[in-house]
Chain A
Amino acid sequence: MKTELPVGIINRENSGLKKLKPDIPRITVGLATCGAAVGGTAIYERLRESIQKRNPDLSLVPTGCIGYCREEPIVTVAHPGKPLVLLNRVSVKDCDDILNAVLSGTVPHDKALCRIEEWDHLMGHNITYGRGFDEIPLYDEIPFFGQQKKVILRDAGIINPEDIDEFLAVGGYSAAYNALRNMEPDTVLEEVEKSGLRGRGGAGFPAGLKWRITKEKKSDKKYIICNADEGDPGAYMNRNEMESDPHMLIEGMILGAYAIGTDEGLIYIRAEYPLAIRRLKHAIAEARELGILGENIFGTDFSFDIQIATGAGAFVCGESTALVASIEGRTGRPHPRPPRLTDSGLWGKPTDLNNVETWCNVPVIIKNGSEWYRNIGAEKNSGTKVFSLVGDVEKVGLVEVPLGTTLKRIVFDIGNGGADGKAVKAVQTGGPSGGCIPLRLFDTTVDFESLNAIGSIMGSGGIVVMDEDTNMVDIARYFISFATGESCGKCIPCREGLKHTLILLNRILAGKGTAEDLDTLKSLSETIAATSLCGLGQTAPNPVLTTLEYFRGEYDSLVKL
C-alpha cells in the first residue's frame, strides 16, 4: 500500500522519521499553553541561543503536552540509538546542564523522570528509540503514565505539532489515504457505526448514527462542524488535542466528510485558545500544500476543505443550535429542536456537529478496524476518554483511560489522591451540567450511563477533585453563579430561576437560610431542569441537586432547622 503514496508524501514521511529518530541528538520542549506558561517558552529560547553558539547540529523542536501537567516544563532528550528521556520541572537555569550532558552523550540524571524505549504510535510505525540509561525508570513504571491507555494522545508531546512530516512519520493521514483510495464512503461509515463510537462532547450520541442521518438527507450542500468551544471550566483536553496533534483532528474530519459526502468543514473554536488556533491554521495550510485538503485530495475526485470560525466567550455557544447561530453572525441563543442540525443546520443545510475528541477517534478506528476499537472500553462505551484531572489532586494532568475505569483508579491510582496530603472529599464531573460525587461512590465507573445514574454526567471529561476543606454549598453557589452569568436569557425558568437559586444559596451561605429554603431550592431546581429550553438550563441545577443529595448535612448545618 505504501508504495502507492504519492512520492512527495513519501519523501515527507521519510524526512519526518529522520527527525523523530535523528542521527543527531534531538531535544524537545513541551510548548502547549500550560507548559509554555510555566517557563517552557523561556527554556526553549535559552536552549535555542545556546545551541546556536555551541553546536548548531543539535535538533531542537517544540512539542505539545504529554499530559503530566504537574511536572511541566517537560523537556525530552533523544540520543541516536538511545531511549527518549523525559526531564521534568526544568527551569532556565537547568539549560546549561542539559546541554553539557547532551553534548557529552548523556542526559542530566537528576532531572530525569523516565525513559521511553519504544512507542506505539498506533497509526503505523511502532518506533523503537533504543536501549540504555537503565537506571532511569521506564515510562510504564511511573504510576501516572503506567495506568493509562493512550489512543487519542498517542503522539501528544512526542511529535512536533507544527511539522506535518512528523505526523506523516507516525502513520498520520494513512487512514484517510487508504479510505479515499480503497474504501467506499459507506464502508467508512459502517466502520464508525460498528465501532460504537459515541460523541465525546457530553451527551454520548452515537457518532455513526448522526453521520448516517446527515448523509441520507437530500441536499445540494452539507456541512460538518467540529465543536471546539470547550466551554466547561476545568476541562482542557480539546485544547491539548489541537495544540499537540492538530493533524489528527483534520484527518478525522476528512474521513467524516468523505463518509457523509460534503466538501466543507468548519472548526468553531474559542477565542481564548490563541495557540490552538495558530497551530490549527498552520496545520491546515500544510495539509493544503500537500494536497491533503482542497481539490482532489490524494489525486482522487474527492474535494474537501476546512475553515476556522472563532467564538467570542459565550459558554452557551457550545450548544449546537447556538453554535450555528454564532457562526452565521447572530447572537448565540439556542432555538428549540426540532429542527435538528442534521435536518437544518448551518445556513439551513444538513449539518453534522461533533466534538474535537469525537473526530480525533476516527482515524484510529479506520486504521485499526472497528473490532480493535470495540475491544477497548466497556459495554456500550467503547474506546478511551481523555479526562482533565484538576483541582485538589496531587498529580494534575490529562489522563486517558478506557471508558469504564473507576473514579477511584483515576483519582487515587493515577492522580495519587489529594494534594498536600489532604483527604479527598468529592469530585465534580461534567462541568456546570454535572454533579458532585462523594468519595463513597468512587467505585462508580466513568461511562455515560453510570455517571447519569448517580445524577452527574461525563460531559466533556473535566474531573475536578475537591478535598476536605471544600465547602460543598459554596461549590453549588459557584456553579449557579457561573450558569446565571452565562444564561442567554431567552427563557424564563433559566434566566429568572437561576437568579433566585443564587439568591437562596447566598442567603444560606450567609447563615440566614431556613429549612424551608432548602425545600424551595430543591423544587426550584427541579422546575428549572424540567422547563428550560436548552441543555444549559436543563442541567444547570445538577450541582445543587447532587450536593443536596450527597452533602445534605452541610446545608443542614448552615440553616436553622
Chain B
Amino acid sequence: MVSTSRIRTLATAGTVLLAVAACAPQATPAPMPTVSVCAKESLPTRTPGKLTIATDEPAYQPWFVDDKPDNGKGFESAVAYAVAEKLGYTRDEVVWTRVRFDAAIAPGPKEFDFDINQFSITEERKQAVDFSAPYYLVRQTVIALKSSKIAGKTTLADLKNAKLGAQVGTTSYQAITNLIKPTVKAQVYNSNDDAKKALQNGQLDGLVVDLPTAFYITSAEIDDAVIVGQLPQVGAPEAFGLLLDKDSPLTGCVSGAVGQLFADGTFKQLEQQWLTQTAGAPELT
C-alpha cells in the first residue's frame, strides 16, 4: 500500500515536473493557436469560408444516423458540428464529402479539411497523417446473447457470477480482472473471432469488447446479441481523433478546438446523448 503522504509527494513532484516540462523548449514547436490565428477568416481551408469534413460511405449507426452526416444526428456528426461551431463556422458553411477509410489514412493529398471516421490515434498512422487531440476515449463494453443470464443487468455487481471472455492481451481482459473481478475465472481467446464463437455456442455468459466493436457485433454479426452496458474507463484506452493531412496548417487550430470541447464536457454530453441513450449502451455502475 502507498501511503497518502507519498501520493501527495508524488503529485507535487508530478506537478512541478509538468510545470518545468511546459517551460522547457520543445523539440518540435507545435503551432500554439491563438484566437486571432484561428479566426475563421484566416483559416486556410480547402474552400475559403467553408469547412470540408469527410467520412466514410456508408456511415454507420451510432456514429451517424440514416447515412446522412449533414443531419447533425449521431455521435460523430454531432462532434463534427461542435468542432465547426468552435472554429466559427455555421451549419450551412459545413460541406460534407465521402472518403474511404483506408484512403484517408494513406499518405497523399487530401480532399478534406478533416475526416471523422472512428480513427484510432496510433504512432504508425502519425507517420502518414496528422491527428487532432482525442474527441473520444474508447470504452469497454459487455455484450451477451439475449438468452444470457446477464442480459439486461445494470450494475457491475450483477456480473460477479458471470462467465466472461475477452481476447488475450487487450484492455478488454484488464477490464474483467480489474473492474468486474468475477468469481468464475475469465476465459481468454486468441482472437475476437474465437471469443464470438464461444459466445454464440453459449460457452460464455458475456464477452467484453470495445464499444465500436460491440456495436458492430450486435448489429451486423450476431443476430441475437445485445449490449449489456459500458464499463468504467480502465487501462490505457484507445483514443479517436480527427484526421488531417500530414503537416496540415489547420492541425493546430482544429486540435485546440477539440481539446477545449473535450475539457469542457461537451463531448461527454454528446457521448451520453448518442452512444448511451440513443444507441442503447447504458453505463454499468
Q: Is chain B a partner of chain A in the same complex?
A: no
